[in-house]
């Protein structure tokens, strides 16, 4: 017997993780984006918009090459795990933020093609403290991870914390401060996601059940103010217009409807309930007795 392979297997390709885990990562960092928008708005005293724009699987070399150069990039410890993550903030964001922190408006023409100085790294400590705090709070739904800065670089290729072909989950977040827009990129080793697989699966299932309940409540709130027409009709025979015009006072119309027979209540033209017409003070009302 001869075995024929249609295509070769690439042992260097990133080890894929399940789509359900990617969805859970998306939900986790969507919460991170909302929290970061509030924190940065308060820190910078400016209106900040933060949106999650991408969650994808790459090799570490692909992730590294996707980052601008020079830029603001740090390696993050992820205690209690021995692995490290990578956090990068685009220069198009870093320099306007530095100007705002130094008392400017952030709207000036700031060069974005130079390396960050040691003094500027010190000023950015407060920014990183906020980002790592919100990142820790977001990940707390899955695991208690302490994010700490281990190394700082301006050239992504110099930050060799993972092997080139190691699988990495790349999370892209877009940040807008006034008219300035840039990205924050986070690279997390896939091995960490796999070690937390059961917790990610649990978090996704809980989120899915909660979202189902929230969706039902949202739809109910949307339906509450909708007008609904109710009609209680006494069914009987039909007559011609000619006969109707000949009706006079004292004429009796016979309806094929017993006094004890239940009437049908229509909601927007659809039969929904059975009951009887009753007196409510000086008004007529409909007493619902059963569902059609």
Q: What percent of the chain is predicted at pLDDT more than 90?
A: 37
CA separation (Å) from 240 to 22, 233, 243, 271? 69, 19, 5, 26
In which residue are the tokens 């400017």 written? 104
Cβ density class 77-100: b for 16+ within 10 Å, e for less:
bbeebebbbbbbbbbbbbbbbbbb
% of the chain residues with pLDDT over 70: 86
Reduced to 3 states (helix: H, G, I; strand: E, B; else coil), residue 55 is strand
248-292 residue pLDDT tens: 888 887 777 777 788 888 888 888 888 888 888 888 888 888 888
With 70 as the cut, is the pLDDT of residue 127 above it? Answer: yes
Query: What's the confidence (pLDDT) of residue 4?
Result: 45
H helix runs in the chain, sequence order: 19-44, 60-65, 91-101, 118-123, 125-139, 190-195, 197-223, 241-245
pTM of this prediction? 0.64
- If one compares 251 and 15, the residue with the highest pLDDT of the two is 251
Tracing tokens 């016979």 back to the chain, one arrives at 254
Kind of pairing, strands 84-89 and 72-79?
Answer: antiparallel
Q: Write out pLDDT tens, residues 57-68.
A: 999 999 999 999
Domain with CATH 3.40.1550.10 in the chain: 19-217
Determine phi and psi for 203, rounding to 5 degrees. -65, -40
CA distance 179 to 107: 8
Q: Which CATH architecture has domain 19-217?
A: 3-Layer(aba) Sandwich (3.40)
pLDDT at 218: 75
């Amino acid at each position: 017997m001869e075995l024929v392979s249609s295509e070769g297997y690439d042992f260097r390709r990133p080890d894929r993780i399940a789509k359900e885990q990617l969805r859970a990562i998306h939900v986790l960092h969507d919460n991170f984006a909302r929290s970061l928008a509030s924190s940065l708005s308060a820190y910078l005293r400016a209106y900040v918009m933060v949106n999650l724009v991408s969650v994808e699987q790459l090799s570490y070399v692909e992730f590294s090459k996707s980052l601008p150069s020079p830029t603001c990039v740090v390696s993050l410890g992820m205690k209690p795990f021995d692995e490290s993550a990578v956090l990068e903030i685009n220069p198009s964001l870093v320099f306007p933020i530095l100007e705002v922190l130094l008392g400017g408006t952030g709207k000036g023409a700031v060069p974005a093609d130079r390396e960050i100085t040691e003094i500027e790294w010190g000023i950015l400590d407060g920014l990183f403290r906020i980002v790592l705090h919100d990142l820790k709070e977001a990940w707390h739904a899955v695991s208690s991870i302490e994010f700490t800065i281990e190394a700082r670089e301006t050239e992504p290729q110099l930050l060799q914390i993972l092997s080139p072909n190691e699988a990495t989950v790349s999370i892209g977040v877009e940040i807008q401060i006034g008219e300035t827009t840039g990205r924050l990129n986070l690279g997390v080793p896939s091995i960490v996601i796999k070690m937390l697989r059961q917790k990610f699966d649990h978090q996704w299932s809980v989120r899915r059940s909660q979202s189902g309940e929230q969706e039902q409540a949202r739809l109910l709130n949307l339906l509450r103010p909708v007008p609904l027409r109710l009609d209680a009709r006494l069914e009987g025979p039909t007559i011609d217009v000619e006969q109707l015009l000949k009706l006079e006072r004292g004429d009796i119309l016979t309806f094929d409807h017993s006094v004890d027979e239940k009437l049908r209540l229509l909601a927007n033209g659809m039969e929904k309930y059975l009951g009887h017409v009753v007196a409510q003070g000086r008004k007529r009302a409909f007493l619902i007795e059963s569902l059609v």
